[in-house]
Amino acid sequence: MKTLHLDTGKEMRGGQWQALRLHRGLIAAGNESFLLARPDSALLWLARQEGLPCAALRTGSLRTLSEGYDLVHAHDARSHTLAALLARVPLVVSRRVAFPVRDSAISRWKYRQPRLFLAVSHHVARQLRKANIDKSRIAVVYDGVPVPPTPASGSAVLIPETADPAKGMALAQEAAGLAGILVQKSASLETDLPHARLLLYITHSEGLGSGILLAMAHGVTVIASNVGGIPEMIRDGENGYLVPNEAAAIAAALGNAADLGNAARATILARFTEKHMVDATLAAYEGLFRNV
């Protein structure tokens, strides 16, 4: 299988980490994979640091370059648009966001072009179905994360640092204040999770939540909003805690949370490793060509 990956994100957010992990994993599994990313992106820099096949994305050469691959896999909205316009081979699009598909003539055209959507959760798949995308063109592929050899051993209570108001950082801080618990804003969960005991992940919209998966892989107990695809990872009171987006309820969970890190880590090993993600993606690719 020869796959050309496209991503236009500048920062390393959840989608960029998944693109990098998938690219690496496909190559390790014996597939030919090549990544195109924006020239100034962290994703391209990291791929180069690892020695992975990659180059700067140049729209002028995309049409010709795509002809040398079995499929093009677009990992964000802008690369979806570029590939819909220029790719000459079947298009696969990862859909990670929880909000509905826009209902406009341009959007309807754009969403007719992919042969397959990889939805990051069943919640996201339902949003695609509401846009009249046939279920035969949708496969659910959960994010996969690395599992560190040893669990976290620290006392920090983390909240992801973000400027996105939809992510609920202000509500998380308000709830922590009510609970009298000191929280640490984290701009890099990869760096901070090994020293944490709890992650407070409050959001108003979430396709899945790869930051939650990272915390669970580290054996860190997660308190998260009961929205979007998050309940597909967390079983309340078993491997984490689900809360409504209300300060008092979040504060109560902070004050009463038991250590569920072992169960969280077991969940990742059973369902959400990088290998799970790569294997599910390959199965979706292969299913696409079986159905031609």
User: Domain range spanning residue 25?
Assistant: 2-144+273-290
For residue range 118-146, list pLDDT tens digits in order.
999 999 999 999 999 999 999 999 999 99
Query: At 108, which CATH number?
Result: 3.40.50.2000
Rounded mean pLDDT, 231-246? 97
For residue range 53-94, list pLDDT tens digits in order.
999 999 888 989 999 999 999 999 999 999 999 999 999 999
Q: Are residues 117 and 162 in the same domain?
A: no
The pTM of the full predicted model, rounded to 2 decimals, is 0.93
Is 150 a domain residue? no
CA torsion, ordered 25, 75, 271, 171, to nearest 10 deg: 130
Is the model's pLDDT at 291 over the cut of 70? no
87, 259 contact by CB (below 8 A): no
Q: Are residues 26 and 136 in the same domain?
A: yes
Is the model's pLDDT at 261 over the cut of 90? yes
Is the model's pLDDT at 292 over the cut of 80? no
Whole-angstrom distance, CA of residue 249 vs CA of residue 86: 49
Is the model's pLDDT at 267 over the cut of 70? yes
Q: What angle do CA 232, 264, 178 make, to 5 degrees?
A: 85
Whole-angstrom distance, CA of residue 263 vs CA of residue 220: 10
